[in-house]
Structure 1
Amino acid sequence: MSEFMQTSAYAGVTISLVAYGLGAALKKKFGFGLFNPLLISIVVTILFLVGGHVDYETYNEGAKYLSWFLTPATVCLAIPLYEEWELLKNNAKAVILGVTSGVITSLVTVFALSKLMGLDHENYVTLLPKSITTAIGMGVSEELGGYVTITVAVIVITGVLGNIMGEFICKIFRIHEPISKGLAFGTAAHAIGTAKAMEIGDVEGAMSSLSIAVAGILTVLLASVFAGLI
């Protein structure tokens, strides 16, 4: 299997897309939160690589092409934001305060848990960008001296958990306002959470898309400050 992966330029892409398609089909059929397409694709791909004795570098030679679409896909999230531009202007203060409080909460939580668990500086800064989109988080982690590959894994896990549990948490705390829901999803669970917000409604999706950009910028600015605390 490893030989096949080495000789096929697009084997990694094919495996990734098939695994994601399987996850999407399961989610559509059963509608169960744990059948998140991204989560299923990760599990299936890992099982395939382990079962086929294929190392990550060999797999990534074919799968790396998918990452090229990450930045344009993030930019495309501006479309629903544009469609709800008037709503944004009318609620600018609430949006800014909501996203800012979410970013600060995320950074403070990472700091507190890192101190509690006795993490060193490298591990600590690796976790700081956990709630922003991968395209920005990788750069923040690298700049601060963290482990970029672990940062990517943490960002994905954060997003998947937000996608699965976000709506349930909103129900527990009786958060019904569409703008509040969208800001919460985008600030806490970046693009993966935004995918869920778009399923809920247009306003939620637009506000979540906005939160990704604003939360990313604020995290870049504040992460360097928090990085010096440990």
Structure 2
Amino acid sequence: MNDLIASSATFGVVLSLIAYGFGVLVKFHFHKNWLNPLLISVVITMSVLSVTGISYDNYYKSAAYLSYLLTPATVALAIPLYVQLERLKENVVAILCGLVAGAVTSMGCILALAAVFKLSHEEYVTLLPKSITTAIGMGVTAELGGYVTITVAVIVITGILGNVSCDFVCKMFHIVEPIAKGLAIGASSHAIGTSRAMQIGELEGAMSSLAIVVSGILTVIGASFFAMLY
């Protein structure tokens, strides 16, 4: 089976699309935030690979075409931001302060958890870029000497958790301002969370898109400093 999949250029793409499509149908039918299509597709894909004995490397090779779309999809998030450019200019100081606080808090929490759980330096730097988009996070981890594959998994899990829980968290802390909502979602759960922010509202989606870019830049700059602290 592994040999057959290794020679296939489409198995990974087909499996991924079918699994995600099924997740979308489940979410549409039950209307529950925790039934995230990406989470469902991950569970289905892992189950198929486990049952059939197909190695992850072979699956990844045949699904590489989807990976190529990651960067242009992230860049396309600039479109809603451009539409809300005037609102950005009106609140630029508050926005920047909020995003700096978000990036520092994210990396500071990882530093504290690393100390509590006595992680190695490699494990620590692997988790530092957990809240930024995969395209940037992989580069940060590789530069700092962490485990890139684990970083990818952690980033995806972080995004899914943000997507599923953002409505509950905003209600719990009485966050009603659209700009604050969007920035919080984008800064904590990158593109996966942004997909939920766009469903909440156009302004929330635009601010979440901005948070992805700025938080990514701040993390690239700040990760080198935080890496020296542990």
TM-score in same-fold range (> 0.5): yes
Tell me which residue corresponds to 1:96.
96
Shift in Å at residue 32 of structure 1? 1.2
Any idea what the Cα deviations from partners look like across 1:76-124, whole Å, max 9, x if unmatched? 0000000000000000011101111000000100000000000010000
Q: Does 1:16 align with 2:27?
A: no
Hey, what's the Cα distance between the residues in 1 that align with 2:68 and 2:111? 32
Q: TM-score, normalised by structure 1?
A: 0.99
Tell me which residue corresponds to 1:132.
132
Question: 1:78 is matched by which residue type in structure 2?
Answer: A
Deviates more, 1:79-88 or 1:57-66: 57-66
Shift in Å at residue 138 of structure 1? 0.2
Q: Does 1:71 align with 2:84?
A: no
Shift in Å at residue 154 of structure 1? 0.3
Hey, what's the Cα distance between the residues in 2 that align with 1:31 and 1:3? 40
Tell me which residue corresponds to 2:206.
206
Tell me which residue corresponds to 2:173.
173
Any idea what the Cα deviations from partners look like across 1:110-157, whole Å, max 9, x if unmatched? 000000000010000000000000000000000000000000000000
Q: Does 1:54 align with 2:65?
A: no
Any idea what the Cα deviations from partners look like across 1:171-216, whole Å, max 9, x if unmatched? 0000000000000000000000000000000000000000000000
Tell me which residue corresponds to 2:25.
25
Hey, what's the Cα distance between the residues in 1 that align with 2:157 and 2:60? 19
Q: Percent identity?
A: 57
Tell me which residue corresponds to 2:81.
81
For residues 109-124 of structure 1, what are the structure 2 equivalents within 5 Å?
109-124=109-124
Structure 2: segments with no counterpart, 5+ residues: none
Q: TM-score, normalised by structure 2?
A: 0.99
Tell me which residue corresponds to 1:187.
187
Hey, what's the Cα distance between the residues in 2 that align with 1:89 and 1:25? 39
> What secondary structure, in the 3-state scheme, does the structure 1 residue paired with 2:146 have?
coil
> What secondary structure, in the 3-state scheme, does the structure 2 residue paired with 1:34 have?
coil
Tell me which residue corresponds to 1:41.
41
Question: 1:134 is matched by which residue type in structure 2?
Answer: T
Shift in Å at residue 6 of structure 1? 2.3
Hey, what's the Cα distance between the residues in 1 that align with 2:36 and 2:8? 28
Deviates more, 1:26-35 or 1:138-147: 26-35
Shift in Å at residue 54 of structure 1? 0.2
Shift in Å at residue 31 of structure 1? 1.2
Q: CA RMSD in A?
A: 0.7
Hey, what's the Cα distance between the residues in 2 that align with 1:6 and 1:158? 30
Tell me which residue corresponds to 1:153.
153
Runs of 4+ in 1 over 6 A off after TM superposition: none
> What secondary structure, in the 3-state scheme, does the structure 2 residue paired with 1:214 have?
helix
Tell me which residue corresponds to 2:163.
163
